[in-house]
Amino acid sequence: MSLSRLAEKLITKAHDGNDLSRKEIVELLSLPAKYSSDLFAAADKVRKEQVGDEIFLRGIIEFSNYCERNCLYCGLRKSNSKLSRYRMVEDEIIATAQEVKKSRVPTVVLQSGEDSFYDTETVCRLIERICTETDLIITLSLGERSYDDFKAFQQAGANRYLLKHETADKDIYHYLRPGCKWEDRLQCLRWLKELGFETGTGNMVGLPGQTLETLANDLLVMKLLNADMLGIGPFIAHPGTPLAGIDNDDLDQVLRVIAAARLITRNTNIPATTALATLHPQGRLQALQAGANVVMPDFTPDIYKNRYDIYPGRKDVGSAQDIINKLEIDFQSIGRFINYSAGYRQTKYH
């Protein structure tokens, strides 16, 4: 079969909602760059049919950059002694949540490194206060916790949880996350789904050792877990980590994984990640035209923002309201607009 015939066959099959085998996903991702625009157009169409033209916002608060883990790729890793660490106190976090509310963003994402300083009781108190003082929808992104913790967080009022599986290749996972087990990560994700959290997972694209088979497996993990939200972003090397100097500027590859994710998972919420905006000035808008439908503006107070240094060159520094105003103009330029409602996973559009 000619390449253009294969491209058309695969893209049409995925567009129509048929399951793709692992081999077919690999073939889809390995199509030469000249077919990318067809793939993005198909994903954009499915995005429109399934979740509409609206872009949903989530306000992030990165409340602690302490982390007990030592992931080889991440600037927050415990061994990065150059990083100036901070922890926001409860009242500061609540005041920031009020800012999110003031911007009409309906949901807040509380994100941190794996920091047991914020124990079960502290996190629950925070959730309860945000519920009563702001009535924002609460998403947590605190890393791996016990089943009992997840349950307590949910009872306190949290609705959503983000925990990227990072990579479906167990060997790469174990190499990049010393002391962590891939199975434990998956167990956490299954617990979250079982407890009824809207659950987000996702991966990094461009990790050393990763192949197209790995990326196909990433997409199958997302599908098999029935994850509700998918965070797909480029790996960006941080100079203060063991992976310093590993180049990754393949924006097209990240966009292809996003497009494939939209085609395979249909009605999920897929953010155009900040990491994409960091890789390329148009990265975010391109993602929004290749399947993505969510943007997550960063509300972390400016005094801390630069210190949440996961990878270098993070964009979007400045007041959150300024960022949203700029985003609104960008969205209009591609015929899209912000929807200020909670943006639950849509089982059916309209």
The residues that touch ligand SF4, with contacts defined as CB under 6 A, are: 67, 69, 71, 74, 76-77, 113-114, 143
**Which one of ligand 5AD, ligand SF4, none interacts with residue 204, CB within 5 to 8 A by kind?**
ligand 5AD
Residues 231-260 binding ligand 5AD (CB under 6 A) are 233, 235-236, 238
**Which one of ligand SF4, ligand 5AD, none interacts with residue 67, CB within 5 to 8 A by kind?**
ligand SF4
Q: Which residues contact 35 (CB under 8 A, 6 or more apart)?
A: 3, 4, 7, 11
Q: Residue 349, exposed/middle/buried by CB under 10 A (0-12, 13-18, 19+)?
A: exposed
Nearer to ligand 5AD, 35 or 235 (CB): 235
Nearer to ligand 5AD, 314 or 336 (CB): 314
**Which one of ligand 5AD, ligand SF4, none interacts with residue 311, CB within 5 to 8 A by kind?**
ligand 5AD
Nearer to ligand 5AD, 130 or 275 (CB): 275
Alpha helix locations (H) across the chain?
Answer: 3-15, 22-29, 36-51, 90-102, 120-134, 147-156, 170-176, 182-195, 212-224, 251-265, 274-279, 283-288, 302-305, 320-333
Nearer to ligand 5AD, 74 or 255 (CB): 74
Residues 15-54 binding ligand 5AD (CB under 6 A) are none
> For strand 107-112 and strand 137-141, is the pairing parallel, antiparallel, or unpaired?
parallel
Q: How far apart are CA 17 and CA 46, in angstroms?
A: 9
**Which one of ligand SF4, ligand 5AD, none interacts with residue 143, CB within 5 to 8 A by kind?**
ligand SF4
**161 near ligand 5AD, judged by CB under 6 A:** no
Of 46, 260, 275, 277, the residue at the interface with ligand 5AD (CB under 6 A) is 275
Q: How far apart are CA 255 and CA 3, in angstroms?
A: 20
**Which one of ligand 5AD, ligand SF4, none interacts with residue 57, CB within 5 to 8 A by kind?**
none
- Using CA atoms, how far residue 103 sits from 58, 320, 324, in Å, is 11, 8, 8
Residue spans of beta strands (DSSP E) within 53-124: 54-57, 59-64, 107-112
- And the tokens for 324? 């949203």
**182 near ligand 5AD, judged by CB under 6 A:** no
| Residues near ligand 5AD, by CB under 6 A | 73-74, 164, 166, 204, 233, 235-236, 238, 275, 310-311
